[in-house]
Amino acid sequence: QGEEMMPKIGNNLFGCGGGSETCCVSCSKEPVHDVFLERVCTAESDNGGPSTFFTLAAVQGKMSDGARSDVEEGELQRKVVVLEERLRMEAEEQERRQQELDRREEESRREAQQREREQQRRRQELEAEAKKMEDERVFRIWMERQGFKDVNEKRKTFFFSFTYPLHVAVQENNADVVRMLVAAGADKNRKDWGGLTPEQLARNMSKKLGINRVWDLTLDALR
């Protein structure tokens, strides 16, 4: 039917005014609809009969399948472009959200590590403070028990013999007290009545008793 109508379109479309919104020869003046419509003009055509024309929408409606396919393909390509752009934007948004999530997780991890370090530092401070208080208590009790009032106080043992707090602590092999005496300012170079420094006394006693390893901590405290 389309092939039969095309000659009519070519002959009458412009001569009859079919391309306008209404018929141009003041006949029926019916509006042209956006559908395939065949119009019959009441004015006589050159051949003496009614003039038949078709609207532009009718011409488009009778386009060949090839032309219709081109339009559909173009529309499909446009939709593909729009879809690809939408997918790209969604992917970028997803990536942005993931980056933000990763950033927050990393920030939370660093904050947790910082809290852990702070707690560990605080525990170490408390442990050190507790150890210091315990050392002070032990040191005070030891000094009172031995009768010393100062870490470098000279004390007689017999008529002609004397000693010092460090020498007494070495004789006891009390490494903790030796360390505390040194920390409190005890002189490691003072010699007792036998002419021995605290370190020399420790070495002599370790050799005499044959228990070298037992005196290692005491010797370390004197270094």
* 206 belongs to a structural domain: yes
Beta bridge partners of 191: none
Burial zone of 19 (CB within 10 Å; 0-12 exposed, 13-18 middle, 19+ buried): middle
Structure tokens at 186: 């005890």
Q: 167 and 196: one domain?
A: yes
In a domain, 39, yes or no: no
pLDDT attached to residue 215: 67
pTM of the predicted protein model: 0.49
pLDDT tens for 64-122 read 555 667 778 888 888 888 999 999 999 999 999 999 999 999 999 999 999 999 999 99
80 lies in which domain range?
74-146
| C-alpha–C-alpha distance, residues 207 and 131, integer Å | 32
32: in domain: no
Residue 56 domain flag: no
Domain of 203, CATH number, reads 1.25.40.20
Check residue 18 and give its pLDDT.
45
Burial class (CB in 10 A: 0-12, 13-18, 19+), 57: middle
Closest CA to 54 of 115, 110, 11: 11
128, 146, 164 — which closes off a domain?
146
Q: Which of 6-15, 67-76, 178-187 has the highest mean pLDDT?
A: 178-187
1 inside domain:
no
pLDDT-derived band at 14 (thresholds 50, 70, 90) equals very low
Ordered DSSP codes for 10-79: HHHTTTTTTTSSS-TTSSS-PPPPSS--EEEEEEE-TTSSEEEEE-HHHHHHT--HHHHHHHHHHHHHHH
Inside any domain, residue 89? yes
pLDDT tens-digit profile of 120-179? Answer: 999 999 999 999 999 999 999 999 999 999 999 999 888 788 999 999 999 898 989 999
Please check whether residue 190 lies inside any domain of the structure. Answer: yes
155 neighbors 162 (Cβ within 8 angstroms): yes
Question: Is residue 133 domain-shared with residue 154, that is, in the same domain?
Answer: no
Number of compact structural domains in the chain: 2
In a domain, 121, yes or no: yes
Which of 21-30, 62-71, 177-186 is modeled with the greatest confidence? 177-186
